[in-house]
């Protein structure tokens, strides 16, 4: 089973609860092991245990920072691609007005639908469901570009339009790859969650070894770990509330197209 896909499929609240429960369970196991060793008069010296706990917590902090940086980079890439997508589509639409009447009409009819398909996507499933129609429109647009070879027209305009359409297709391929295929590898999720559990286990062990009662603040620490992990997962998942990427650049392009065609703009 792909652990990454499983984590991405969980609602944020479910992932948060799962991480908290696992962390507290691991902490309780560590505490009971520590108390058991005390009852058997197998107390360990405190400095080595503290060093062990500190090393595990340090590794967890490093991996959390590494994973967060990876997710932030991908999130920024998705945001930049939306802006680039809007700019390339706008340029292609404007160049279409310079084409012969037949190609201009078809192209300027297809592009608004193409943009509309890219708006209001709230899940990976929805994005995947729209791909067939999106790529069908791309095929039809390229047919219009190919038909320009038979037209008696300015070759520079032909070159500019074909180049702009190629850029539209390239940006689509990049958005598809970054949004649907690039995500945190499942192996990183496995190590991250194992390290979280090991950290709580070692803290519980330290508490059980050198204290007769559990730390009252341990649930707070478990919740803090869970919050960071949940935030990373939300940023890495398309359409998560709180981490939605503004589609306003594309909405502005669609408004421009509708005004150009004499239709009322969508609210």
Q: At residue 119, does pLDDT exceed 50? A: yes
pLDDT tens string 171-214:
999 999 988 888 888 889 989 989 999 999 999 999 888 877 77
With CA atoms as reference, report the closest residue to 245 among 9, 77, 12, 13.
77
96-107: per-residue pLDDT in tens?
999 999 999 999
Its pTM stands at: 0.80
Query: Which residue would you say has higher pLDDT here, 7 or 135?
Result: 135
Q: What is the pLDDT of residue 266?
A: 42
Give residue-wise pLDDT tens across range 205-231: 998 888 777 777 889 999 999 999 999
Torsion angle (degrees, nearest 10) of CA 44, 47, 52, 58: 160
Helix, strand counts (H, E) of the chain: 9, 0
pLDDT score of 1:
57
pLDDT exceeds 80 at position 122: no
* Per-residue confidence band for 151, with pLDDT thresholds at 50, 70 and 90: confident
Determine the Cα–Cα distance for residues 217 and 100; give it in Å rounded to an integer.
Answer: 72
What's the rounded Cα separation, in Å, for the pair 93 and 86? 11
pLDDT mean over 89-118: 93
Instruction: State the virtual CA torsion across 167, 173, 177, 179 in degrees, nearest 10.
Output: 80
Structure tokens at 31: 């505490």
> What residues does each domain of the chain span?
3-260
């Amino acid at each position: 089973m792909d652990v990454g896909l499983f984590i991405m499929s969980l609602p944020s609240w479910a992932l948060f609860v799962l991480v908290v429960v696992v962390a507290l369970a691991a902490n309780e196991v560590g505490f009971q092991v520590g108390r058991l060793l005390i009852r058997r008069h197998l107390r360990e010296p405190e400095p080595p245990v503290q060093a062990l706990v500190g090393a595990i917590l340090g590794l967890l902090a490093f991996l959390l920072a590494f994973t967060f940086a990876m997710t932030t980079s991908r999130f920024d890439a998705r945001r930049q691609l939306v802006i680039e997508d809007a700019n390339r589509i706008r340029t292609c639409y404007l160049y279409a007005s310079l084409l012969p009447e037949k190609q201009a009409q078809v192209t300027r009819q297809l592009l608004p639908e193409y943009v509309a398909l890219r708006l209001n996507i709230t899940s990976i499933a929805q994005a995947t469901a729209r791909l067939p129609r999106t790529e069908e429109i791309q095929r039809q647009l390229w047919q219009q570009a190919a038909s320009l070879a038979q037209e008696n027209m300015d070759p520079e305009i032909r070159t500019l339009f074909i180049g702009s359409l190629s850029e539209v297709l390239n940006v689509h391929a990049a958005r598809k790859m970054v949004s649907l295929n690039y995500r945190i590898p499942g192996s990183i999720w496995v190590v991250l969650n194992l390290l979280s559990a090991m950290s709580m286990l070692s803290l519980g062990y330290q508490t059980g070894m050198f204290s007769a009662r559990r730390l009252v603040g341990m649930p707070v620490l478990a919740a803090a770990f869970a919050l960071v992990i949940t935030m990373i997962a939300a940023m890495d998942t398309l359409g998560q509330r709180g981490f939605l990427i503004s589609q306003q650049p594309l909405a502005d392009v669609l408004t421009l197209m509708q005004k150009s065609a004499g239709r009322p703009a969508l609210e």
